[in-house]
Chains A and B, each alone.
Chain A
Amino acid sequence: MARERYIKLLLMACASLSFLAILLIFIFILRESMPALTKVGFGNLFTSTDWNPDKGSFGILAFLNGTILTTLGGLIIGAPLGVGTAIFLDQVAPKKMATVIRRGIELLAGIPSVVIGWFGLIILVPFIARITNSSGYGIAAASVVLAVMVLPTITALSVETLRSLPIELKEASLAMGATRWQSIRTVLLPAAREGILVAVILGMGRAIGETMAVQMVIGNSRQFTLSLFKPTATLTSRLVTDMGEAPPGVFRSSLFAMALVLLIFAMLLIFSVRMITRKRKA
């Protein structure tokens, strides 16, 4: 019996590791970003677009802008595509075909992000360069790459939601004489709204955090830009580009401040997902 107790404690320790880990990550990232937050100042860090570590300017607004624009771009392309594919898989496709396509999309989720980045670099960037007469690097290229990466998340979770709806909903609607599209639009999609919203939010999480694929196609310049076809950077891409060369000090610390922003984004997403699912349960 004593042995049973030890085993239970050991298992509990394993379980508590996940919470300890996130706590530790938060504490360490916060600690490492303190020098930047105090010396550069909160305001300077987040409102300045001037990133020039050699000259002592550490404004990350340009990269915050890059993260927000590429994420939005990725979702604008990826979310309709994902939800549309999910509707196809759950409502329209013949059963065999649905299975094959679902497997394919699961495979897409498994393709490493460097491989997708490499694909973007050798195919997408030259293509955009040719049609827009620019360098090809920039928010447009990154958005397309991110759309590819959020697609599997959004599709899989949307299919799950649609599938969890009671079959009676659709049958009742069809029995009233509604067409398939009318049933989907007026009955199924409203019923699945929260689930699809969660799917998009989790897709957004993937887009915000994606690093290598974006880094390879966005051009990594320091400039703030709203143009789709000018090289810029995101928080993640700047972080990974500069970390190798940043000496300990304010420079490195400001990179950790970027990580802190990413961490806070991730937490906000978690909380919004929890709010949505809690409301649904109640």
Chain B
Amino acid sequence: MVWEIGVILKVVIIFTWALITVLYITLLERKESALIQDRIGANRAEVLGLRLNGLFQPFADALKMFFKEDYIPPFVDRPFYLLAPMVALVFALIPIGAVPLADKITLEGREFSLSVVNSGVGVVLILSLLSLAIYGVILGGYGSRNKYGLVGGMRATAQIISYEIALGLSLVGVLLVFPSLDLNEIVHMQNRYILKGWVPLWGIILQPLAAVIFLIAGMAENKRVPFDLPEGESEIIGYFLEYSGMKFGMFFVADFVEVLLLAALFTTFFLGGYNPPWLFPDGFHFPWGGSLLLSSLWVRVIQFITFNIKLWIMVWFLLLVRWTYPRYRFDQLMELGWKNLIPLSIFNIILTAGVLAVIK
């Protein structure tokens, strides 16, 4: 009984955590872009006279989105039009369930993982769900029966399919170094140390090239500014051209969920996941000799906080990139994907495999 209640609770808590994080990513985007451009950013939303420089703004935004008129144009292909935003949001949100937020705990004598899906093939699950996410975009562009929408959808298809290859191939390098498809195992294997215990063997240290490729391909995958051709707001409005109200809101939120997902995946694969440096299941063991023993519960709490800190650093970096670079032209985009990233990731696989073969 405790087990079943625990499962329901963790599903609710993890998705609530994800959606609240997404809301605050929108706030961070507004604030960070404002500061980069020498502005202040939204700071007027007020709850009981408290402004806190705009801390409640995301809730005001969400409320506004809910109460906007939801207009369905008469010429659209209704089933596809209605399905598209849900597909986009759901398939962006589900992979977050596979990311472990803290180490497993024991409940009623069984292992209880602190992620929604405790899958032995988490990496494959995430990659397959990521490739399903583009159906929302394609269906949105097609179901709108609008030429610009369709162009946006086609651009998204070409872009995401080409970058999916680089994304998958860069992960192959990681899987060679950490031979497991279980995300929890991958995180555990990153909790090893070299150079007398000073440097953690994180993915970014063992696989720097794969990290760069994963980051660029992931940014292309979530269709934000340096790669926002499907949206292309200055010439075609993009695949969500005919959407309004909460349906547009779902596409919008799906974008930010993908930012969260990319940051979470990068943290898990390359930044040591939920483990801060030198934290082991029984507490901290520092390389300078000291150690701080902690109970199992405190270890989980520290792991969850560490995961959030690493996540926010990654989100901050992704938003910084989004507000720094102008958009690629389509031929440049394809050139970067097919002529640079894919050969580089294949080179990375060969290099990694060769080094591993020599070491063994």
Do chains A and B interact in one complex?
no
Mark B residues whose CB is within 8 Å of A.
Answer: none
